Amino acid sequence: MKAEITDAVPGLTDAQVQGEVEEAERGYVLGELVSEPNPHRSDLPTVPVDLIAEIAARAARDGETPDDVVRRALLSYLHSA
């Protein structure tokens, strides 16, 4: 894939592009942005909803990230078989 710099964006007027530029230059408060899942990503691991709070509590208690807790639990399970 080759990147190309352009002065125009198909489907947007110059005024729309300028509005987007001005918005971006003002900056964003990341906590206020709406996160949207990538519909093209199908290999995301899922955690049952009923375990999320327990994982978060264990992570906080152990001073780890939730990812660390899940990784350690899975490794323990896989090595016990």
Note the pLDDT tens digit of each residue in 10-21: 888 889 989 988
For the chain, the domain total comes to 1
Query: Which pLDDT value is given to residue 2?
Result: 78
Residue 64 belongs to some domain of the structure: yes
Task: Say how many C-beta atoms besides its own lie within 10 A of residue 69's C-beta.
Answer: 20
* Amino acid identity, position 70: V
Tell whether 30 is covered by a domain: yes
Give the pLDDT confidence score for residue 32 in this predicted structure: 85
* pTM for this predicted structure: 0.46
Domain span at residue 72 reads: 14-36+45-80
pLDDT(54) > 70: yes
Of residues 74, 72, 45, 47, the one with CA closest to residue 59: 72
